[in-house]
Amino acid sequence: MGVEFSKPLSMTATPIPGVVLFDLSVHGDNRGWFKENWQREKMLDAGLPDFGPVQNNISYNETAGTTRGIHAEPWDKFISVATGKVFGAWVDLREGPTFGAVFTTELDPSKAIFIPRGVGNAFQTLEDHTAYTYLVNDHWSADAQNQYVFLNLADETVDIAWPIPLGQAELSSKDRDHPRLDALVPVLPKKTLVLGANGQLGTALRAALAGDATVEFATRAEFDLNNPDSVAGRNWAGYSTIINAAAYTAVDASETPAGRKEAWTVNVTAVAALARIAAAHRLTLVHISSDYVFDGALDWHSEEEALSPLGVYGQTKAAGDAVVATVPRHYIVRTSWVIGEGSNFVHTMADLAHRGIQPAVVNDQIGRLTFTSDLAAGILHLLATNAPYGTYNLTNDGDAQSWADIAGDVFELAGKPRSDVTGVTTAQYFQGKPAAPRPPRSILDLTKIQATGFQPPRAAGRLSEYVLRVLQEV
């Protein structure tokens, strides 16, 4: 074979982001040789992404000079040579600053290379009877083939130095006629699907991601997880991320027979369907959690605190968290007291102040506001920085306050005296009314998300901006 036996497994980065070259450990004697062509645990330890191969393909080539490619396919590939030798060429056809970047090398049975989705793959055999093998992480289909991007082997821009001139090589007529680089539409990144697109957080994500062609937004009417057709009708291979901004949040109504069923359907059954999709297709699932998964007995709630929900809403959110935590690639983003576009506590208080109404507001529930623009920014930060998967608390920063304190701030910002707001206990406020139990303390520790480089702004500044905007509208 002409290669060194028993080399340690190692990897080398290349000029194309994500393309990684491996030296494989080959063991031989007078009978021949043996290698572990693919060994998941060792490959991951060496730095290979856990790309989840599902299909193994082999290309057998009768004579030296057989040339195939350049094809960018809608999946990742782990490529090696079973027997013989090839000159391999790879061209980055993905949208971005490295579009058109080239890497070439020779592969024999002691080498392998990982090629991410959107990078064009080509090879030319250097020996007769060469077998070129590759693992892929999606099943071939006619629909998948329609997503291929092809580049002409003789493209002058990438200028690949084929060892055997193409005029003397064995090519297919299709490979001879593929377009040049300047005529190609680059391969776009995989898509992100945002569910709950018309809610407070969904609206903020729409604003933050405006103009991004790789993001799709869906309302419940457009994508119902309890309808099998919604799930089956999508080619999940084209997605990388699902952001679940949909939830049943009617805390008091969830204690009724009808509300209990709806809360479990939306917050648990639908979330379980999402988790199955994400796990099966290696997607990142971002799920929004709530301070209601805790009983509020502690002064501060860390991500490691045991779940202790008091009411049905909190129980369904806790159950949803437990389901999402089984997905290998997940972010559970736990938040509290969310304020965004549309109806919410701050908007209501600003409207009452404007109309001269003096409300009674609960003063024994303590927490911090979360403005949806900052919640959206924090979610996108986790995704953009590839932060470690897991659970993150995310609210605005600053001093903890009661609902009555916040109402007083709103009234002052509206030019009214704080004394217009009367503080009452939760028991007094809900006396004679059906109400769900609420955690008395909802202060979430922000240390973990701050360690990723995201610093949530202080709630007081965001409140001032929000109230002034609302007052201009009323």
pLDDT tens column, 93-138: 999 999 999 999 999 999 999 999 999 999 999 999 999 999 999 8
One domain for residues 206 and 136 = no
Question: How many domains does the structure of the chain reveal?
Answer: 2
Is 452 a domain residue? yes
Q: Within 13 Å of residue 68, how many CA atoms lie on the same side as its CB?
A: 16
pLDDT in tens, 198-238: 999 999 999 999 999 999 999 888 887 777 677 767 888 88
Residue ranges making up the domain that contains 161: 10-183
- Among 17-31, 353-367, 384-398, the minimum mean pLDDT is found in 17-31
Is 2 a domain residue? no
139 is catalytic: no
Q: What share of the chain is helix, strand, coil (3-state, %, to 5)?
A: 30, 25, 45
Q: Which of 183, 217, 236 delimits the end of a domain?
A: 183
Of the candidates 71, 178, 281, 347, the residue annotated as catalytic is 71
Is 305 a domain residue? yes
One domain for residues 151 and 43 = yes
Residue 6 confidence (pLDDT) above 80: no
Residue 364 confidence (pLDDT) above 90: yes
Q: Which of 167, 183, 199 delimits the end of a domain?
A: 183
Domain of 27, CATH number, reads 2.60.120.10
CA distances from 150 to 61, 95, 104, 174, 437 (A): 21, 14, 17, 10, 60
pLDDT in tens, 417-465: 999 999 999 999 999 888 999 999 999 999 999 999 999 999 999 999 9
Could you tell me the two tokens for 430?
Answer: 């809900």
Of 195, 301, 199, residue with least CA distance to 249: 199
Taking the alpha carbons of 409, 412, 416, 417 in that order, is the dihedral positive or negative?
Answer: positive
Interatomic CA distance for residues 390 and 70, integer angstroms: 38
Could you tell me the two tokens for 78?
Answer: 């782990």
Residue 1 confidence (pLDDT) above 70: no
Interatomic CA distance for residues 383 and 361, integer angstroms: 37
Find all residues with CB under 8 Å of 264, minimum gap 6, and list them. Answer: 316, 319
292 is catalytic: no
Q: What is the mean pLDDT of the chain?
A: 93
Is 311 a domain residue? yes
Confirm if 371 and 345 have CB atoms less than 8 A apart: no
Q: Which of 151, 183, 215 delimits the end of a domain?
A: 183
One domain for residues 244 and 119 = no
pLDDT band, very low/low/confident/very high, at 415 (cuts 50, 70, 90):
very high
One domain for residues 273 and 404 = yes
| Intra-chain end-to-end CA distance of the chain, in Å | 80
Tell me whether the omega of the peptide bond preceding residue 70 falls within 30 degrees of 0, making it cis: yes
Of the candidates 27, 60, 134, 239, the residue annotated as catalytic is 134
- If you average pLDDT over residues 38-62, what whole number do you get? 90
Task: Give the model's pLDDT for residue 237.
Answer: 83
Of 266, 474, 16, 416, residue with least CA distance to 274: 266
Residue 3 confidence (pLDDT) above 70: no
